[in-house]
Amino acid sequence: MAKRRKYGNRRQHAAPSIKLRTGATCMLWGVALLGLACAIAWGYKAEVMQRDAARRAAAMQESAARFQMHGIDVSAHQGKIQWKQVADATLHQRPISFVFIKCSEGATLQDRQYITNLREARKNGLMVGAYHYYKPGRDIDQQARNFIKNSHLQAGDLVPVLDVEEAGRMGRQALANDILRWMKVVGDHYKCVPILYAGHSFRRKYLNDARLKDIPLWKAHYQKDSRVNGRGWTFFQYTERGHVQGIRGYVDLNVFHGSPEDLQSLAIN
């Protein structure tokens, strides 16, 4: 009898252990199924996002193709460029009409590929321009002098560009003051009206000072459902992921709002 009671007690203690193991197994299966469902849902969402991005990019490219004058902008980020190939390249079955090249940044920096890019682009018959990358909080007169000293622009080149993408701790009024000062110093030197480059969202947030409204605009906008249209801009950068023969990797693509004669009118005299 004692042995039977002992055996019986062992069976009674074993039952909860089996239930625990069964519960743990069910929980693991539940977690696994939930993870699988999340993975499927995320994969579907990612696929939808990719299709949507492709649709927007195609719409942007289609709207850009309506314009006659196409060009690119480059810096040291593009590495060594094969300018003969670039000069022979086409965008939307049209030749490349202009190239903007990064010259300088802030008060003291110069783009290490600028001189080479400027020389080779000119040598291959491309209309060139130069831009300065603005750094907030740095002396604006020094920034203007940095560009003037290193840009080496000449008659027939496009007018200078100030690229403003950062506000730092600058207020809107102080930022506008800097822009206007750079435009005056550089414009007086080259006897022209420079161009302001700014992204669509950044411009709406920081550059809504009324004093800036008459400055020719190079607009960058390639997000959401934007289209290249002909309102309120001179140049329009419509993608940062373009491809052009002679350049490895991505390059910015742009259109000009006007004719070849209009583009020539923007040249330095």
**Alpha carbon of 39 to those of 25, 45, 52, 61: distances in Å?**
21, 10, 20, 32
Tokens 């490349």 -> residue: 96
Which two three-digit tokens encode residue 181?
């000062």
166/204 Cα distance (integer angstroms): 13
Contact 126, 120 (CB under 8 A): no
User: Could you confirm whether 105 is annotated as catalytic?
Assistant: no
User: Could you confirm whether 165 is annotated as catalytic?
Assistant: yes
Give the angle 256-89-56 at the CA atoms, nearest 5°: 55
Task: Determine which one of 52, 73, 166, 214 is catalytic.
Answer: 73
11 CB-side CA count, 13 A: 6
61/239 Cα distance (integer angstroms): 9
24/40 Cα distance (integer angstroms): 24
187/185 Cα distance (integer angstroms): 6
Which two three-digit tokens encode residue 187?
């414009």
Task: Determine which one of 111, 139, 165, 240 is catalytic.
Answer: 165
Residue positions annotated with a catalytic role:
73, 165
